[in-house]
Structure 1
């Protein structure tokens, strides 16, 4: 299923407004791009391409932070790859019902790990303790692999390296974007009828709190913009918002429908949007 997404940005102290509504750069040639992630060690970006509806036609692209395509089909053999994570010299991607681990140096797939019960895996994140979390939009659930420094309560029934269900609840309202931040897990929910919100989950108690409460849209990507401020994207409207710790939102820019799992490059103060329907990736310069 092809999802498009919008972004939310913060103006007070930690946020900024796009200098104009026009992208700084548009790079064409992708195939339904869904997610963009930055590999700081190698100074490159990776883009997940869901491609068409054929099994095995999905792929990962490698590009420079300035938008030069280094290898369009760097890693192939995926189905509908979505969320991306760089962790410990590996690249992870969620692929429908599998978590795929890839070798960053060799540019090849190490293994595909089936996720029992999964239906539509989406975004992925890692916390300070090395635990990896990833969402399942259709199941309204979150899975995880406990890391070396995971809390005992998280590891008790899950052996090292194995996948388990972390939380399943209708209150997650179809979680899409995920972000581990401090001691909490944040989820951008897709919702129903464009009533998705930004949620905060206590990792110890698994209690779910609503950061926003009015129903923003079909939320997709989430990125930290400083302190406890976040950028989030709304797939349905193409709007990019900034959310403050009290749940107040500020419109940063309006792209087009189908902007996906966004990336914020703090050093350059740029938002990078994978544009699913447009088969392109857009760069926006913030003030």
Structure 2
């Protein structure tokens, strides 16, 4: 009986340790801005500055009231109208001194030093552009959530690159591949072959690589996931019951800081990844 008790205790302890270590990562909140940001959809970290895409209207309206704001990495709102005159700005990317913004059926280019629009590149056939990414060669890809298509910019013209992606939203270039969030998370190789990484039962929005083959992924309703290279995932943050969204996140790997735009909650929240 004594031996049986020891065996039972050992099994219980092993199960407890396994359960405790099953989720290896967690997030700790650092700060949150005041709720004074007009529908923040996307955050792009750049040094000590966070560029924030502010819709400031209905999510898919061409109303000219959208803007790009600036927030410090300490959570101070610097400027909510750094660049104005946009429609429904969403995903952003940077190449050189230019910030690229997905805005309905256009990709807006912004001179970062001047804080001024350089051009608005009309993407023929596009309707609801959402996320944008720039690969190591400077090629620009942008998703269209309504059409389920990915466009690739060729100079000042958008060319169809992929199509047929149901629920398409987030996109990220990593090495020679693209990673897209649709009805699932997929890796797209240079031959445009899709490999499913994991299912996304709540859809996908933001996607950021950790640097080790793992990713941070959000679902707009209020979920932040840690997705491992093998496709398994853990929930790091769940705010959906509080009606706080988790839209297109930014991530600074040097500080392991995640910047979460809360959309209708009108703030940006920062978390450290542990």
TM-score relative to the length of structure 1: 0.82
- Per the alignment, residue 235 of structure 1 pairs with 220
- What CA deviation, in whole Å up to 9, does each residue of 1:138-159 have, x standing for no partner? 110000124xxxxxxxxxxxxx
Distance 2:157 2:121 in 1: 9
- Per the alignment, residue 17 of structure 1 pairs with 26
Aligned CA RMSD, in angstroms, stands at: 2.0
Instruction: Report if aligned partners of 2:67, 2:86 keep a CA contact under 8 Å in 1.
Output: yes
- Per the alignment, residue 135 of structure 2 pairs with 127
Distance 2:256 2:229 in 1: 20
- What CA deviation, in whole Å up to 9, does each residue of 1:221-272 have, x standing for no partner? 0001121100000112x12111111111112122344211011222222211
Structure showing greater radius of gyration is 2
Distance 1:218 1:140 in 2: 13
Tell me which of 193, 199, 213 is aligned to 1:207: 193
Mapping for residues 20-169 of structure 1, pairs under 5 Å: 23-28=29-34, 29-40=36-47, 43-53=48-58, 55-146=63-154, 160-169=155-164
- Per the alignment, residue 150 of structure 1 pairs with none
Structure 1, unmatched stretches of 5+, are: 1-11, 147-159, 190-195
- What CA deviation, in whole Å up to 9, does each residue of 1:30-59 have, x standing for no partner? 00100000123xx31100001113611000
Instruction: Report if aligned partners of 2:45, 2:251 keep a CA contact under 8 Å in 1.
Output: no
Distance 1:69 1:250 in 2: 31
Distance 2:157 2:125 in 1: 14
Instruction: Report if aligned partners of 2:123, 2:158 keep a CA contact under 8 Å in 1.
Output: yes
1:197 maps onto 2:187 in alignment: no
**How far did 1:286 drift?**
2.6
Tell me which of 172, 178, 184 is aligned to 1:185: 178
- What CA deviation, in whole Å up to 9, does each residue of 1:116-149 have, x standing for no partner? 1101001000111110101001110000124xxx
1:223 maps onto 2:216 in alignment: no
- What CA deviation, in whole Å up to 9, does each residue of 1:61-84 have, x standing for no partner? 012111112211100000000001
**How far did 1:164 drift?**
0.8
User: Which moves more between the two structures, 252-261 or 72-81?
Assistant: 252-261
Structure 2, unmatched stretches of 5+, are: 1-20
Distance 1:145 1:99 in 2: 9
TM-score relative to the length of structure 2: 0.85
Higher relative contact order (Cα pairs below 8 Å, separated by 6+ residues):
1
Instruction: Report if aligned partners of 1:264, 1:271 keep a CA contact under 8 Å in 2.
Output: yes
